[in-house]
Amino acid sequence: MIAYMPAIRVLLIGLTTLTNVSGLFDCYAIEQAPVPSAALASKYNNAHQGRTGDCYLLKNPKALIPLRYADGTPRGYYVSGEYPVTKRQSTSRDVENPDRSACPPGTTEIDAREIVDSPAGKMVFHPGGGSYAHYPGGVNQWGQYGHILLSDFSKSQLLPVIHEGKPVGNGAECATAKPGHPNYGEYYIKPISIDDEMWYKKPHAKMTGARYLNYGDRGHGGMYLVWNWVQNGNPSLEEKDNHVPGGGYVRAVLKRSMIFYRCDVEPLKTVSYGLDDQQNGWVTVVYGKTYTGKQWIYGWTIHSYEKWNHNPKGQIQKKYVEVLWPISKGPLPN
């Protein structure tokens, strides 16, 4: 080692000398293109998106009126004026004191914030999840989400085109992420059930309540596109820090194999709680767009989730489930 010391010293002195010569090393500098910063998720994840919760008169009150996917194709679920909602979803007209009264016979509840165009015709959204005490088959058969054609409503009642038919709030347009960017993604919609032991609000040992499974495929064959999400991406386990008031409003139902394009918007990695109110995983949602066949609509949908389980030795095992199917992986699996 002693024999090499002078040589090393000379080399170091030489480098020191060269670094003091202005411009000698300019040709060796490698400039990296700056990575464009993604749009803040908070710009597209606003609290209290709300619903209008209006009751609209159906053209044929006794008929079974199809609920539709975002592309206008029927979902296999219906509404009927013979079975109006008995307790409406909360509305945006008065956040503190929403009108949740029943809709009168011959009508159905509508979220009239926008008109969406599709190959089947122009549509307005029907919010599911309300109370349908008299529907045969129960809420799983009748209380579903979906669009209804404007042609299914009475012409005597004017359907407002809210905000001139343009997306509002979290329906705002955004730039599509380009290949090579961290948020790039082109996916097929792959309806999938979310683990039923994952809550976005602490359940306090009750099996009911605010579960992520409400936003997965519950046997109805679709995935939801929502105006805003239920959490804001804060990793805190305190609900006061991560909760989005009035979050989770559904904008459309996405059919299997529809294509979803991610926007260059930060994803939201949101906390999942177990029955013991402790964290048991993550649910990640992404913001993007899909084409109805006539127009683009924008919103959040579930990208993936990670469920934590404890094995008999007390170790945590993590199960990762991919919800959106990357087109680059080929056709959707059966």
Lowest mean pLDDT among 66-70, 126-130, 219-223, 226-230: 126-130
- Asked if the model's pLDDT at residue 31 lies above 80, the reply is no
Mean per-residue pLDDT, 103-124: 91
pLDDT in the model for residue 90:
63
pLDDT one-digit tens code per residue, 122-175: 999 998 877 776 666 655 667 789 999 999 999 766 666 555 555 555 578 899
pLDDT in the model for residue 67:
95
pLDDT one-digit tens code per residue, 251-293: 999 999 999 999 999 999 999 999 999 999 999 999 999 999 9
- Asked if the model's pLDDT at residue 22 lies above 70, the reply is no
- Asked if the model's pLDDT at residue 4 lies above 50, the reply is no
Confidence at 231, pLDDT banded by 50, 70, 90: very high
β-strand partners of 74:
68
**Per-residue tokens: 166:** 């343009």
Q: Measured between alpha carbons, how far is 209 from 273 in angstroms, rounded to an integer? A: 12
**Per-residue tokens: 312:** 């008999």
Mean per-residue pLDDT, 11-40: 49
Are 231 and 246 in contact by the 8 Å Cβ rule? The answer is: no
pLDDT in the model for residue 91:
61
Mean per-residue pLDDT, 201-227: 91
> What percent of the chain is modeled with pLDDT above 90?
58
pLDDT one-digit tens code per residue, 235-259: 999 999 999 998 999 999 999 999 9
Per-chain mean pLDDT for the chain = 83
CA triple 110-259-324, angle to 5 deg: 95
Q: Which amino acid is at 304?
A: S
**Per-residue tokens: 317:** 């095992």
Q: Measured between alpha carbons, how far is 127 from 105 in angstroms, rounded to an integer? A: 17
Confidence at 331, pLDDT banded by 50, 70, 90: very high
Confidence at 21, pLDDT banded by 50, 70, 90: very low
Are 332 and 325 in contact by the 8 Å Cβ rule? The answer is: yes
Mean per-residue pLDDT, 31-55: 77
- Asked if the model's pLDDT at residue 307 lies above 90, the reply is yes
3-state SS class at 207: coil
Three-state DSSP string of 6-61? HHHHHHHHHHHHHHCCCCCCHHHCCCCCCCCCCECHHHHCCCCCCCCCEEEEECCC
Best CA proximity match to 323, nearest among 188, 230, 163: 188
Residues 6+ away with beta carbon under 8 Å from 139: 131, 132
pLDDT in the model for residue 18:
39
Q: Which amino acid is at 257?
A: S
3-state SS class at 89: coil
CA dihedral 176, 115, 130, 67 (to 10 degrees): -90
